[in-house]
């Protein structure tokens, strides 16, 4: 442990991890995460090694009146895993992964990211829906829902959660599953950061890979209106084996050249993939076609280079009522004046298994077929922050008439706070979450999240 007075350590004497304070070696590395726009300084960082450490950290923060934040992978765009002047419960050292290839399950601790989990499960040709940016943490993505390449076939990450170990606000350690504490289990699957600190996750695994068919197709930006209309029509009959993202982005060479693009993952047979992807491969006059067999672990990291850790990020997203011609034209008109060569505006196709789960089966309400628009503004020069944030707000406002008022909370930015964003994230499940919050966290100790106040 670092040099902290005995009085300040009251309640943490048995802590088995490390306690960091401002000025300690490693403090500045741990207090920063994926989004370089977030710069907060916790009074204490409790680097936990197990449930007892988590329980002690919660009790300490409550008794000291300190705000609590919870860091798993540190990939939060909104930066809510960090606190200014409070206590950060850092789970990054808890990295255990145990795969049971016979039962097709995996138990994983909250410091693991999707690249690390995929590495272990793909040894057995198994996978579960995970983040499309492989450096995303398993914990945060799952507790907020968990969109990913496998969701048309197997649902969200949270739909594949079998059980979780949870440390609650009053220090209890509980197992949550369909058979134990089922109400808590329901809420963890989409609003979990409100209800406790998850110390381990158990997922159902599926036969995926190790080789899948996928990659990127890009067209010149002036062909984007036609290409996105083709994409809308082509995906109307997409199979459960096909997941795609489409929209507008930039050439990876940093030139600022704008492109229309589709990124695809097909987990069916090579013959099925070839037949279903052929229209995409042959449409128009693409400037780039890179579709073919590749390891699932590589497919799941294709977008990583566009979102480097420490870059400045401000994102906005919302579900579209339909991908109409007017919506496509408005999106492209606004993107044409995008200020950063790292920014993208992507359409995530919701279809298949994810849309066949009842709205009230989990806390995640996003079960309708269609498209989620996410504008991921990314830049590196702090002097360009105001310009990029303003542009992102402008394109989001311009697209608002085409949206249906539902939003995916894992894409929230720091200013997405209060009742309106939370209700957009939880939809018709909001009132049930209020009741759960009253039961498991009546003092709203866990409030750095898409918060559901207990009143």
The tokens for 410 are 């894992």
Is residue 391 one of the residues assigned to a domain?
yes
48-57, 71-80, 362-371: segment of lowest average pLDDT = 71-80
Residue 252, pLDDT > 90, answer no
* Residue-number span of the structural domain to which 116 is assigned: 97-208
pLDDT at position 11: 74
Q: Work out how many domains the chain is built from and give that number.
A: 3
1 pLDDT band, cuts 50/70/90, is very low
Whether residues 166 and 276 share a domain: the answer is no
End-of-domain residue from the set 208, 233, 252: 208
Residue 127, domain CATH: 3.30.465.10
* DSSP character at residue 403: B
For residue 323, give the nearest of 423, 230, 443, 431 by alpha carbon: 230
What does the pLDDT look like over 314-335, one tens digit per residue?
Answer: 999 999 999 999 999 999 999 9
H/E element holding 62?
helix 51-64
256 and 345 fall within a common domain? yes
- List pLDDT tens digits, range 349-395: 999 999 999 999 999 999 999 999 999 999 999 999 999 999 999 99
Domain boundary among 90, 122, 141: 90
Buried-state track 142-158, b at ≥16 Cβ within 10 A, e below 16? bbbbbbbbbbbbbbbbb
Kindly report, residue by residue over 433-455, the tens digit of the pLDDT: 999 999 999 999 999 999 999 98
Domain's final residue, options 90, 118, 142: 90
Answer whether 17's CB lies under 8 Å from 53's CB: yes
Same domain, 356 and 230: yes
Reported as a single tens digit per residue, the pLDDT across 394-429 is 999 999 999 999 999 999 999 999 999 999 999 999
Q: What are the phi and psi torsion angles at 268 (to 5°)?
A: -85, -170
Same domain, 193 and 224: no
* Rounded Cα distance, 190 and 254, in Å: 36
Do residues 105 and 81 share a domain?
Answer: no
Q: Are residues 238 and 348 in the same domain?
A: yes
């Amino acid at each position: 442990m670092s040099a902290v007075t005995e009085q300040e350590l009251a309640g943490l004497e048995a802590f088995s991890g490390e306690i960091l304070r401002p000025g300690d070696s490693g403090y500045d590395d741990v207090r920063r995460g994926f989004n370089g726009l977030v710069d907060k300084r916790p009074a204490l960082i409790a680097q936990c090694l197990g449930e007892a450490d988590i329980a002690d950290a919660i009790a300490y923060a409550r008794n000291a009146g300190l705000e609590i934040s919870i860091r798993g992978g540190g990939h939060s765009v909104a930066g809510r895993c960090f606190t200014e002047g409070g206590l950060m419960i850092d789970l990054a050292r808890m990295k255990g992964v145990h795969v049971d290839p016979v039962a097709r399950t995996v138990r994983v601790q909250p410091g693991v990211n999707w690249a690390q989990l995929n590495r272990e499960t793909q040894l057995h040709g198994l996978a579960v829906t995970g983040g499309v940016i492989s450096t995303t943490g398993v914990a945060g993505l799952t507790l907020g829902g968990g969109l990913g390449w496998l969701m048309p076939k197997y649902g969200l990450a949270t739909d594949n959660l079998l059980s979780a170990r949870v440390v609650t606000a009053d220090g209890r350690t509980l197992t949550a599953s369909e058979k134990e504490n089922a109400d808590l289990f329901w809420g963890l699957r989409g609003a979990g950061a409100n209800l406790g600190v998850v110390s381990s996750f158990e997922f159902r695994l599926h036969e995926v890979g190790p080789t899948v068919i996928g990659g990127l197709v890009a067209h010149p930006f002036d062909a984007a209106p036609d290409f996105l209309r083709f994409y809308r029509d082509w995906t109307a009959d997409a199979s459960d084996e096909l997941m795609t993202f489409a929209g507008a982005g930039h050439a990876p060479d940093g030139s600022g050249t704008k492109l229309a693009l589709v990124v695809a993952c097909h987990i069916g047979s090579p013959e099925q993939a070839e037949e279903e992807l052929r229209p995409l491969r042959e449409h128009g006059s693409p400037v780039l076609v890179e579709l073919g067999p590749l390891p699932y672990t590589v497919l799941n990291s294709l977008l990583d280079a566009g979102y480097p850790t420490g870059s400045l990020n401000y994102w906005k997203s919302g579900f579209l009522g339909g991908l109409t011609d007017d919506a496509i034209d408005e999106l492209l008109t606004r993107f044409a004046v995008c200020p950063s060569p790292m920014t993208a505006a992507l359409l995530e196709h919701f279809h298949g298994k994810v849309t066949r789960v009842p709205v009230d089966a989990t806390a995640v309400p996003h079960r309708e077929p269609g498209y989620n628009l996410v504008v991921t503004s990314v830049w590196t020069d702090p002097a360009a922050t105001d310009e990029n944030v303003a542009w992102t707000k402008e394109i989001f406002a311009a697209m608002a008439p085409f949206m249906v008022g539902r939003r995916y909370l894992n894409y929230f930015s720091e200013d997405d706070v209060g009742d309106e964003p939370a209700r957009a994230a939880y939809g018709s499940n909001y009132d049930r979450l209020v009741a759960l919050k009253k039961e498991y966290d009546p003092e709203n100790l866990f409030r750095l999240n898409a918060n559901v106040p207990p009143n």
